[in-house]
Amino acid sequence: MKCLIVFGLIVALFGAFVGYGYVVFTDLTKPLPKPEFKDDTYWGPGDVKDFVPDNKIYEFKLQVPQSEIDDLRKELNRTLRLTEPLDGIAFEYGFNTYALQQFVDYWRDNYLTKWDERQELFNSFKQYKTEIQGLNIHYIHEKVSEEAKEKKHVYPLLLLHGWPGSVREFFDFIPMLTKHSNITDYAFEVVAPSLVGYGWSDAATRPGFNAAEMATVMRNLMLRGGHKKFFIQGGDWGSIIGSNLATLYPENVIGYHSNMCVLHSPLAILKGIYGSFFPEKYLPSRFFVDHHFPVWDKWLDLLQESGYFHIQATKPDTIGAALTSSPVGLASYILEKFQTCTNPGLQQDFGAIVTVFGLEAVLDNLMVYYLTNSATTAARFYLENVSKAYRDLQLDRVQSPVPMGCARFRFDLASVTDWQLRDKFPNLTHSMYFQQGSHFAALEMPAMLFNDFTAFVGKIGLHGEKRK
């Protein structure tokens, strides 16, 4: 009799444990409703009571004083006290100091001597500034040609960069989107802003400016330009900001295309672990298994390459002080990320950056951070996005009805599968795998990104009149 009682207690406890586990699992994995979110928070200097809004749009032209270029040249001409790399080591310990010396020499003796040409390239794009929520936002605004208006369907496009990138990533991509000569039925009126705290956009003056707040500013920027509905394309932070925008303001988004398709909801994590045991069951081809699995290896790779993330997400002002005080330190820090984001076969190659991105393009991007002194304010964005206030929004668990397209480049950060992505974007319209390419797709292979983005646009089934 006692054995039956004990057995009954064990069964009851097991049942209670399973039942409790099911309740917890259900609670953690069910979709959440869209949160209420304030769309006019003031982020500028001083008290909002003293703020006088300015809705005008002003032309912007880059005009760097020669004295500033001369000062940079002097900084780069100082004797470098660099530690020699270990014997037989290329870039395994970080950016190689022999390579850094060569970059600095080229930056000083070649690149800066033709700064007028580089500045002219920046100014070849129409740029503007306007005040949004107390912040002056810089952006490129390239309209389509008159010929394209006659021949193609024209749609507004919000183009979003990340870190350590800038609008410079899009200089080859934008002309493909705006010109009538592309082979698609579409052309795009491109708005490519410098993110808040990046480039020539103001930084927030108080804590709390996370990806949801950034999405709100970007949405309000599009509304300022008269674009009530628009496409979004983004990678890195641009992908996360785009996802947040499509979640909080789906009524404004025609479609959202990402080249960094990540999702960190509890259900997505569990599916990723489960999928590691049966990868081919959830992928369109066995050739794409390496994009996602084994998940343990992907997490290890991420841990090994995310030291910068932990620094910027905990003490951004500390690393910012080091980077803004030394152009060589800034170069080493940013160049290391571009070196890593080539591909595994080139990561230890001294010519990798030149081969994949081009030296001038990478130095242009570096100059954006140097000239705007934005290393600290850009790094702070990481801390804001691991804060409790942002985590509590749980936007990865809020579904968006917006059509979504995903482009996965082989050597980018591990993305999630369609099986996971549909939990967030049930209207997943386009999914593509590429066996080449890495993190900076718009800079590395703009034509491939363009083809994928326009393929996504074509699948949405838009049949409106050509925009005049």
DSSP string computed for 54-104? ---EEEE-----HHHHHHHHHHHTSPP-PPPPPTT-SSTTSS-HHHHHHHH
Tell which residue, 271, 342, 269, has the closest CA to residue 305. 342
- Just list the catalytic residues: 236, 382, 439
Quick check: 282 pLDDT over 80?
no
Count of beta carbons in the 10 Å neighbourhood of residue 448: 18
Q: Is the bond leading into 250 cis (omega within 30 degrees of zero)?
A: no
Cα dihedral 224, 230, 234, 239, rounded to 10, equals 90
CB 228 within 8 A of CB 158: no
Give the pLDDT score at 291.
Answer: 81
174 class by beta-carbon count within 10 Å (0-12 exposed, 13-18 middle, 19+ buried): buried
CATH 3.40.50.1820: does it fit domain 73-460? yes
Tokens 């599916």: give the residue.
271
Quick check: 17 pLDDT over 90?
no
Question: Among 14-23, 146-155, 252-261, 424-433, where is mean pLDDT lowest?
Answer: 14-23
Give the pLDDT score at 10.
Answer: 64
Quick check: 40 pLDDT over 90?
yes
pLDDT single digits (tens) 189-225: 999 999 999 999 999 999 999 999 999 999 999 999 9
Q: How far apart are CA 468 and CA 466, in angstroms?
A: 6
Pairwise pLDDT comparison (274 vs 238), residue with the higher score: 238
Quick check: 462 pLDDT over 70?
no
Quick check: 16 pLDDT over 60?
no
What are the structural domain ranges in the chain?
73-460
Q: How far apart are CA 403 and CA 257, in angstroms?
A: 8
What is the pLDDT averaged over residues 132-158?
92
Q: How far is CA 18 from CA 24, 202, 270, in A?
A: 10, 52, 17
Quick check: 12 pLDDT over 80?
no
Q: pLDDT band at residue 151, thresholds of 50, 70 and 90?
A: confident
Give the pLDDT score at 467.
Answer: 40
Q: How far is CA 370 from CA 133, 199, 422, in A?
A: 26, 9, 40
SS (H, E, C) 235-254: CCHHHHHHHHHHHHCHHHEE
Q: Is the bond leading into 294 cis (omega within 30 degrees of zero)?
A: yes
The rounded mean pLDDT for the chain is: 92
Cα dihedral 337, 341, 345, 351, rounded to 10, equals -60
CB 377 within 8 A of CB 465: no
Q: How far apart are CA 388 and CA 385, in angstroms?
A: 8
Quick check: 36 pLDDT over 70?
yes
Q: How far apart are CA 18 and CA 22, in angstroms?
A: 6
Count of beta carbons in the 10 Å neighbourhood of residue 393: 19
Cα dihedral 220, 64, 164, 235, rounded to 10, equals 40
**Which amino acid is located at 113 in the chain?**
T
